[in-house]
Amino acid sequence: MSASDTSEVPRLVLEQGREKAVATLKAQGRHKEAKLVRISADVLADERGRLGISYSGFCLASLPHKALPEGQAWRRDGHQVTLLVEPGRMVIDGETREFGVPYGARARLIVIFLMSEAIKTRSREVHLGGNMNRWMKRMGMSIGGEQAAAVRDQAMRLSACNLKFFWKAEEGRATAFQRAAIIKRGLSFHRSEDSWQDTVVLDEDFYAALREHPVPLLEEAVKALRDRSMGLDVYVWLAYRLHALSGPTDVSWRALFDQFGAGFGKLSHWKPRFIDSFSAAMAAYPEARVDVAEDGLILKPSKPPVSPKVLTLPSQLL
């Protein structure tokens, strides 16, 4: 991939439109890039500009992409932060059930929904029911069948797990949330009906950290990447990093592998998958300016995917 490739798909869509951009790329034998046209076209055509929210910790250390062996915990080390997620138990209908660590794109989408709703309402009590179902529909997910079952499974895992962020202070001392779970109460599915429990209460410490360090995302971009867990990770990382840069910043393949390479034994096995995910994230973030170099990526100062000012506009979150 050349440096120009990373921004070419959004540019072609702007210049030629969706169908002609696909035809141009296919004529050049660039079938992978042609598949990304839908992502850029959907993002560029989005007029509503709904805002999504992530937390800065999730931009630097993420959940696993695939299910872990039963009982296994998860640890990821990012820049100045460590994420530790441990399996948990819950009592359901009088029986104790064990749940593994949440994983994959669905877990990420649920967390983004909860964080977005909490910031929108300025409350750690997130009302579900119709809100969750409407959001799933906006994300292009079915509220019944296998997709809904997958969402319910990840919701239960998120409710049961113990999740901690450990931040390294400048003087070397470690700090962490005092409580472990990001969800204090309520994220589950009614057994007898197709609806979510009425309210989720986020952990007080997690909510305070989220309010202090929110990262604005474009909801349409999240939707476009809904089936790409690594693509979502790269997108939120770029949304967090690029707008804060004062100049070009080199990030080596080794550093990228350390952050995004969980589950891959060798950098050489991981790199092609990362390039695909990175390309999808760039297609979803037309403002991003990133070059691909021999030694890694060169990040350049870029406009954020949405202006931080819209955090003060509740209509952008509806």
| 82 Cα distance to chain centroid | 17
Which range has the worst mean pLDDT, 8-17, 51-60, 177-186? 177-186
Sign of CA dihedral 20, 24, 29, 35: negative
> For residue 3, what pLDDT is reported?
41
- 316 versus 307: the higher-pLDDT residue is 307
- 312 versus 97: the higher-pLDDT residue is 97
> For residue 172, what pLDDT is reported?
62
The answer on pLDDT for 2 being more than 70 is no
> For residue 36, what pLDDT is reported?
95
> For residue 176, what pLDDT is reported?
58
> For residue 192, what pLDDT is reported?
44
Residue 191's pLDDT band, with cuts at 50, 70 and 90, is very low
pLDDT tens-digit readout, 91-133: 888 889 999 999 999 999 999 999 999 999 999 988 876 677 7
Q: At what angle do helices 18-27 and 5-16 cross, to 10 degrees?
A: 130
The answer on pLDDT for 300 being more than 80 is yes
Average pLDDT over residues 236-264: 95
How much of the chain is in helix, strand and coil states, percent to nearest 5? 45, 20, 30
The answer on pLDDT for 37 being more than 90 is yes
pLDDT tens-digit readout, 38-84: 999 999 999 888 899 999 999 999 999 999 999 999 999 888 889 99
pLDDT tens-digit readout, 128-180: 766 777 788 888 887 777 877 888 899 889 988 989 888 887 666 666 554 44
Average pLDDT, the chain: 86
Amino acid at 136: M
Q: What are phi and psi of 139, to 5 degrees?
A: -80, 0
The answer on pLDDT for 190 being more than 60 is no
Average pLDDT over residues 245-258: 96
pLDDT tens-digit readout, 252-293: 999 999 999 988 889 999 999 999 999 999 999 999 999 999
The answer on pLDDT for 315 being more than 90 is no
- 188 versus 38: the higher-pLDDT residue is 38
Q: Could you list the beta-strand ranges (E) of 34-158.
A: 51-55, 74-78, 81-86, 88-92, 95-99, 125-127
Domain ranges (residues) in the chain: 1-45, 53-214
> For residue 310, what pLDDT is reported?
61
Rounded CA-CA distance 236/257 in Å is: 16
Strands of 162-168's sheet, edge to edge?
74-78, 81-86, 162-168, 174-176
DSSP 196: B
The answer on pLDDT for 87 being more than 50 is yes
Q: Are 184 and 201 in contact (CB under 8 A)?
A: yes
> For residue 96, what pLDDT is reported?
92
